[in-house]
């Protein structure tokens, strides 16, 4: 059962267990997108929840959802990983995003080749652009949750997402006209649109 309201203001071991079941795959996809390694993504995702249990007493409800707290832990683990490593971050979207299986092998290969092209182009974006795309699409966070992780307002997150997707389109199809970036699936309704302006 998804914990809500006051329960999330005071997380306990049971709530974190529920969140592990709900969020582990999303955290693993996010870390995989940031590190370029599915194995590392899974290891660090597990470590996120170990750290959460260890620091459960330090969580304070400041208006940000507990998901953002967990993704902030994930973000910090990724940063720590690269401080200890000389390897440059890579974004492997075909590991990070779930690709539906297909009976049509040719179509599946074509899809994976397209994702590899996106992966290569993502490496040319700046770190903030890679981060916002990873959090929004691999981690499936809302603009508000992403803002809590990145230390930005939801409107700034939406603007960063827009410019990141526009830059990615320009890299994918040089010289083509690029329409405005589509909103994230969770960004709907007049209040959210107004907040992004």
The string of pLDDT tens digits covering residues 64-79 is: 678 888 999 999 999 8
pLDDT band at 189 (very low <50, low <70, confident <90, very high): very low
For the stretch 183-190, contacts whose Cβ atoms lie closer than 8 Å and that sit 24 or more positions apart, written own/partner, are 183/158, 184/136, 184/137, 184/142, 184/143, 184/158, 186/142, 186/143, 187/142, 187/143, 187/158
Q: Which segment of 60-64, 117-121, 134-138 scores lowest on mean pLDDT? A: 60-64
**Residue 61, pLDDT score:** 58
Compute the average pLDDT of residues 10-37.
82
Reported as a single tens digit per residue, the pLDDT across 114-126 is: 666 777 788 889 9
Q: Where are the domains of the chain?
A: 6-187
Q: Greater confidence, 90 or 15?
A: 15
> For 51, which DSSP code?
H
7: its two tokens: 């329960």
**Residue 17, pLDDT score:** 83
**Residue 26, pLDDT score:** 93
Compute the average pLDDT of residues 26-31.
92
pLDDT band at 24 (very low <50, low <70, confident <90, very high): very high
The whole-angstrom separation of Cα 73 and Cα 58 is 12
Say what the pTM is: 0.65
């Amino acid at each position: 059962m998804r914990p809500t309201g006051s329960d999330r203001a005071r997380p306990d071991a049971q709530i974190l267990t529920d969140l592990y079941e709900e969020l582990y795959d999303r955290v693993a996809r996010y870390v995989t997108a940031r590190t370029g390694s599915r194995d590392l993504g899974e290891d660090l995702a597990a470590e996120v929840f170990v750290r959460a249990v260890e620091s459960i007493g330090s969580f304070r409800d400041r208006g940000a959802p507990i998901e953002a707290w967990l993704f902030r832990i994930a973000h910090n683990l990724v940063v720590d990983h690269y401080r200890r490593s000389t390897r440059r971050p890579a974004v492997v979207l075909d590991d990070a995003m779930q690709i539906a299986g297909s009976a049509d092998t040719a179509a599946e290969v074509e899809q994976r080749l397209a994702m590899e092209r996106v992966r290569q182009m993502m490496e040319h974006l700046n770190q903030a652009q890679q981060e916002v795309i990873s959090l929004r699409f691999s981690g499936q966070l809302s603009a508000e949750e992403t803002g809590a992780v990145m230390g930005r307002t939801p409107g700034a997150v939406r603007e960063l997402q827009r410019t990141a997707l526009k830059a990615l389109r320009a890299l994918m199809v040089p010289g083509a006209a690029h329409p405005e970036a589509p909103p994230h699936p969770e960004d709907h309704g007049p209040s959210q649109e107004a907040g992004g302006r």
